[in-house]
Amino acid sequence: MEVIIVKTHLEPAPAALRAGETKAAARGRWLRKLYGQRHIQIMALLGVIWMVIFNYVPMYGVIIAFKEFNIVKAISAAPWVGFGHFKEFFGDESFANVMRNTLGISLIKLAIGFPLPILFALFLNEVRSVVFKKSIQTISYLPHFLSWVILGGILTTWLADVGIVNNILLALHLIDEPISYLAEPSYFWSIIIASDIWKELGWSAIIYLAAIASVSPELYEAATIDGAGRFQKMWYVTLPSIKATISILFILAVSGVLNSNFDQILVLRNSLNESASNVIDIYVYQTGMQQGRYSYSTAVGLFKSAIALILLLLANRVTKKMNDTSLF
């Protein structure tokens, strides 16, 4: 008996035939495909337009870093000064203090604040009580949704001479007299770092918890059969399984090492702790917005962006060599 097979769909053309098609046919096929995806393409196009308008067009203004810009004249009319503003910043008497504060705060935040969310996520994942786990998650997330204006007011009240911190320490006889924490430069870095961790710890752990949730249960079962305990599973199963996520976030954290959280420092700084709170972002704000030196402040900001790009490329290359994970 003869069997007849009828194909009810069109099979894609072989690669050899497609390679030999004319440019007009290839263009027509591409246009038909584009038309079939028109709704998705329009949504993507709106995002591209937004990015071009608000991210790329304003980059033209970066050239004022190499000019002596006057707000009453057009950028094109401003005279060129080359690298004059950069040389002035490097020779400024505040340069050493600004870089010391910026790098000091940022590097300590990176060294302490980066691994803490990982540890928090690892231990929170081991909690068996669903109610307790959700309660801890909610409590740890809440500070993230409060602005630094609100948290700054809370911290200012807590750290005042008659604040809760001084009252507790006096009651425990750990100090003999109240301390004005925000008036002492020696305490400022500790306050900034501790308050930043308090605000962002729970929120930063979310992505690690999501990565941990995707780890195959079979790996834990195999580890249990081999006699591994909880800490051994965390070290030999969980951490290696989320190392790609850790690497990507580490690259981003290193690239932003010169970002000292402008909002936080602006709210908590004052004239008494200025020697410990004068970071690059504050320096740019003072010279640009308060003193009206737009070209100079743009040059300082461009210097910061250039360093961030170099750090991004270095961190990306090192991470790629260590565990074959990178952004690009």
Query: 296 vs 76, 85, 282, 292, CA distance in Å?
Result: 17, 5, 14, 9
Q: Which fold has domain 86-323?
A: MetI-like fold (1.10.3720)
Q: Which residue has the tokens 């290839």?
A: 26
Mean pLDDT score of the chain, rounded to an integer? Answer: 88
- CA 177 – CA 164 distance, rounded (Å): 13
Burial of 295-312, coded b for 16+ CB within 10 Å and e otherwise, reads bbbbbbbbbbeeebeebb
Q: What is the pLDDT of residues 58-105, one digit of tens each?
A: 888 899 999 999 888 888 888 999 999 999 999 999 999 999 999 999
Helix runs in the chain, H state only: 15-19, 23-36, 38-51, 84-91, 95-108, 115-125, 130-141, 148-158, 164-171, 185-213, 217-225, 230-233, 239-241, 243-255, 262-268, 274-277, 280-285, 294-323
- pLDDT score recorded for residue 20: 54
- pLDDT score recorded for residue 166: 93
- Output the pTM of the full model: 0.81
Task: Tell me which of 13-17, 158-162, 219-223, 278-282 is least confident.
Answer: 13-17
- pLDDT score recorded for residue 168: 94
Q: Hey, where are the domains in the chain?
A: 1-82, 86-323
Helix, strand or coil for residue 80? strand
- pLDDT score recorded for residue 16: 42
Count Cα atoms within 13 angstroms, Cβ side, for 303.
22
Q: What is the pLDDT of residues 254-308, one digit of tens each?
A: 988 888 789 999 999 999 999 999 999 999 999 998 898 999 999 999 999 999 9
